[in-house]
Amino acid sequence: MARTAPRAEGMSWTDPACPVARTLDLVGDRWSLLIIRDAMDGARAFTDFQHRTGIARNILTDRLRRLVERGILDRQTAPTGRRQNYVLTEAGRDLFTVIVAARQWGERHAFAPAETHSVLVDESGLPLPELRPTDAHGRPMDVDTTSVLHDR
Amino acid sequence: MARTAPRAEGMSWTDPACPVARTLDLVGDRWSLLIIRDAMDGARAFTDFQHRTGIARNILTDRLRRLVERGILDRQTAPTGRRQNYVLTEAGRDLFTVIVAARQWGERHAFAPAETHSVLVDESGLPLPELRPTDAHGRPMDVDTTSVLHDR
DNA sequence: CCAATGAGTAGCATATTGCAACCAAAATGA
DNA sequence: TCATTTTGGTTGCAATATGCTACTCATTGG
């Protein structure tokens, strides 16, 4: 599989050298990650996404088209004819880690102690442990034990 | 430290039960995560953020204010007088995992093979290994080996 | 046949962003 | 000392993006 930058022509990057900025250019709007979240949770059809997110339909049309262009969703016309299915590509499925990180941060910081929320569980029903960046030896890393090399 | 939902009054959640949606409501706009990225990389002053991101100044003013309101940045007036410093709170620093996940996805999927990009390294200069969600026993998890419990 | 569903489009109103100019206090520097 | 620059904004206006409502047009299901 050829690995190419999925930049639909005409698109320009906010900060061409920064992977964080590129990711945000591709999926960093108000709705894209929620659409991807729902795709991961089984949504396939246009109306699935519309009902789960509550997004305006013209915007949904546009976001689905952009996500397809950008190689994150694949649009397949169902054999039955008119129905369209939007399924995650490999790049889309790989956003799982980003979604999990966002989910876990939200659980820790965006809920009052008494509030309940949905939970991500493994096949035996246990919640996933918290993601943690580490160095090559498995030692936990954070903001002040890492740095960004801006050259090369 | 009291753990309260940082919802500045008047704010309403896109999907109150979903931690992903709440995270996006708090930092999911075009600029907030880039501001946080720069804060993690040493930016403190208004003009630091303005130069690194290239964001319009009125929007920067607004985003900094919102991030402070939402408990992600702390605004401190430097002893010297006029200068303001925006520093990450504990919740802000905890977004490290989200930034790392976004960065690594971008490295994998938003660059052509020949392109170069900045790199996140540990104290000995080695790039951080890739984050991977696992279950309680350390087995790698992905989209189809997990599910979201919407109740509770 | 008739109603409902799926996947959109079109037109308009509102909200959000971006740009350029302006401003005042503090620090700098000649 | 006194002008200039830096810092951290604010204001007004233009350009974009988003959302709401109504309309299509082809299938399905009964």
Q: Is the pLDDT of residue A79 over 90?
A: no
Distance B12 CA to C18 C1' (A): 26
**CA A99, A100, A101, A105 torsion: positive or negative?**
positive
Q: What pLDDT band is residue A5 in, cutting at 50, 70 and 90? A: low
Q: Is the pLDDT of residue B102 over 90?
A: yes
Number of other CB atoms surrounding residue B143 within 10 Å: 18
Q: Which of residues 59-88 of B touch strand C (CB under 7 A)?
A: 59, 62, 80-82
Prediction pTM value = 0.94
> Is A152 within 8 Å of B116 when comparing Cβ atoms?
yes
Position of tokens 């920064």? A18
Q: Chain centroid to CA A13: how far?
A: 18
Number of other CB atoms surrounding residue B46 within 10 Å: 16
Q: Is the pLDDT of residue B2 over 60?
A: no
- How many CA atoms lie within 13 Å of B112's alpha carbon, on the beta-carbon side? 7
Strand D at less than 7 A from CB of A24: no
Residues 6+ apart with CB under 8 A from B42: B48
Q: Which among B3, B115, B143 is the nearest to A96, CB-wise?
A: B143
Higher-pLDDT residue of A152 and B133 is: B133
Angle between helix B19-27 and helix A32-40 axes, rounded to 10 deg: 170
Residues 6+ apart with CB under 8 A from B82: none
